[in-house]
Structure 1
Amino acid sequence: MKIGFIGTGSMGTVLIESFIRSGALQPSSIIASNRSQDKAERLAAKYPGLTVARSNLQVASTCGTVFVCVRPLVFKAVIDEIKPFVTPDTTVISITSPVLLKHLESALPCKVAKVIPSITNGVLSGAVLCIYGERIDEQDRLSLEWMLGMIGKPVRVSERFTRVTSDISSCGPAFLAYFVQKLVDAAVQVTGVSREEATRLASEMVLGTGKLLNEGGFSPETLRQRVAVPGGIIEAGLELMERELDTTFIRLLQATHAKYDEDVEKVEHQFYGPIVE
């Protein structure tokens, strides 16, 4: 069965390349379309056998599973375009978090799901969030999760927790990378250590910490307690962070949730029109 991808931007490309690299999909089983066709053609050149579709309609009419990897405000136009070409047996998967299951199920006659990937899936690691519509049965879920399990860890979540779970698993790498960047910047500025050496050390630290949390039996709290000696250097640093970052992460989530709510409202307007008071 052919697997289709509408949109080969950043995350669409991450998914396609990860599925191929992991062995979950062969290039010959993939059909991809993109508004700028040369992007899809570059993928086909890199992975011989991958088919570049002439249109989104070709993807929808020839694939049993279709990943729709486009931005929120483009989504409704794509759905309207492919709707006549999907069947009740087709599975359409959105990777766009503000597009809700109710939007998909009201607009399409087929099975629908949401999958929220992470850039970490590009190295076959990290979580892949799975949110399912009512028309998908357990066998459909297991089949999809087998494929997703080749590039990460599928985690079923409730749609009402889409934003916060995405903040952690999908946005988290950017937030963590920012922390690492600032730690490196400070090390260079305060001590004169080379940026290359500081970056290498920080990167190894992040990798090792992740292993401790996933495989070493530590929680974030117990790891911190294990490393920080009372009255020691680490404790002094943690006390500063506690003071300076007290509400930072609460405000971070408030900011992402506010943007998410704004995007959902815009998508609602596209699917249902303006709300009449």
Structure 2
Amino acid sequence: MKVGFIGTGSMGRTLIESFIESGALEPGQIIASNRTMQKVHQLASQYPGLQIATSNTETVVGSEIIFLCVKPMQFKRVVDEIEPIVQDHQILVSITSPVQILHLEDHLRCKIAKVIPSITNSVLSGATLCIYGSRIKGKDRLLLEDLLQSISRPVIVEENYTRVTSDFSSCGPAFIAFFLQKWIDAAVETTGINREQATCLASEMVLGTGKLLTEGRLTPEEVQTRVAVPGGITAEALHLLENELQGVFHQLIRATHTKYDEDLEKLNVLFNRTEVNRPQY
């Protein structure tokens, strides 16, 4: 099986490297193209056997599955470029959340899926969100999910929940890292603890908490109950967080949805589409 990648920027490169490092794909099974050819050459140098395509159409012709890893406003240009040559049996996978399945099914005759990856996939962890178009069959889903299983936990979601689910799986690592950074900064400034030691402890804590929530099957509420003794230090700190963070996460969701809506409106104009799935609030 040949897997093509149109776009080898941050996330395209992450997927390629993760599939190879996990053993799911050999370099010789991958063909890639990018506007900046130097990026593809760097990948081919790192992974001998990876095929360099001189154009996006060359990537499409040689692939069974094509991952489209470009920015939202570049989609229409790429779609117009590959429309004449894409075949019914091929599977095109968008990894860009505001680009809708219908945007692509209106213009391409192949099978369409949308997969939202995460930076956590680079360490073969985290989730990938899977959304399937009307032409995707059961065997196509199995093929894609078997591939994604090697680097993540595939989770099927409805397209109108793409934004909020992406907040957790894709944006979430940045949100958690921001929270930890501010906590570490405060600890260093207030107590003088060594920053490297504080970062190590915070990182191991996040890893362990993640395992409690997944392998340990505890809910977030149960973790808090198990740690916080009534009247104790943790309970006092949780009370502070409850008061100080009141409404913050509602604002966070509104902020990501507002940006998503802006991108969606621009894409509707590009694709001459007015009726698409709206995100759920």
Displacement of 1:273 after TM fit? 7.3
SS in structure 1 of the partner of residue 106 of structure 2 = helix
Q: Which whole-Å CA distance do the structure 1 matches of 2:170 and 2:14 have between them?
A: 13
> What is aligned with 2:240?
240
Structure 1 counterpart of 2:50: 50
Instruction: Tell me, in whole angstroms, the C-alpha distance in 2 between the residues paired with 1:57 and 1:142.
Output: 26
Q: 1:252 to 1:81 in 2, by over 3 A?
A: same
| Aligned pairs (5 A) from 1:170-249 | 170-249=170-249
Alpha-carbon distance between aligned partners in 2 of 1:215 and 1:135, rounded to the nearest angstrom: 35
Residue 94 of structure 1: aligned partner: 94
Runs of 4+ in 1 over 3 A off after TM superposition: none
Give the aligned residue type for 2:243: R
- 1:243/1:16 CA distance change after superposition, 3 Å: same
Task: Quote the offset at 1:204 in angstroms.
Answer: 0.5
What TM-score results when the alignment is normalised by the length of structure 1? Answer: 0.98
Match of 1:116 in 2: 116
1:272 has 2:272 as partner: yes
Cα offset, 1:217, TM superposition: 2.4
- Quick check: 2:103–2:273 contact (8 Å CA) kept in 1? no
Q: 1:61 offset after TM fit, Å? A: 1.2
Q: Deviations over 1:94-131 (max 9, x none)?
A: 00000000101001011000000000000000101000
Structure 2 residue aligned with 1:84: 84
Structure 1 unaligned regions, length at least 5? none
Question: What is the number of residues matched between the two proteins?
Answer: 275
SS of the residue corresponding to residue 67 of structure 1 reads: strand
Contact 2:129 2:156 in 1 (8 A): yes
Partner of 1:251: 251
Report the equivalent of 2:107.
Answer: 107
Alpha-carbon RMSD across the aligned residues, in angstroms, is 1.1
Tell me the residue number matched to 2:23.
23
Distance apart, 1:182 and its partner CA? 0.7
Of 266-275 and 205-214, more deviation after overlay is shown by 266-275
**Equivalents in 1 of 2:50, 2:24: separation in Å?**
14
Work out the CA distance in 2 between the residues paired with 1:227 and 1:188.
Answer: 24
Residue 37 (structure 1) aligns with = 37
Residue 32 of structure 1: how far off its partner (Å): 0.4
Q: In the aligned structure 1, how far is the partner of 2:199 from the partner of 2:67?
A: 36
User: For residue 155 of structure 1, what is the aligned residue in structure 2?
Assistant: 155
Query: TM-score, normalization: structure 2?
Result: 0.96
Shift in Å, 1:194:
1.0
Task: For residues 135-173 of structure 1, give each alpha carbon's deviation from its aligned partner in whole angstroms, at most 9, with x where no partner exists.
Answer: 010110011100000000001100010000000111000
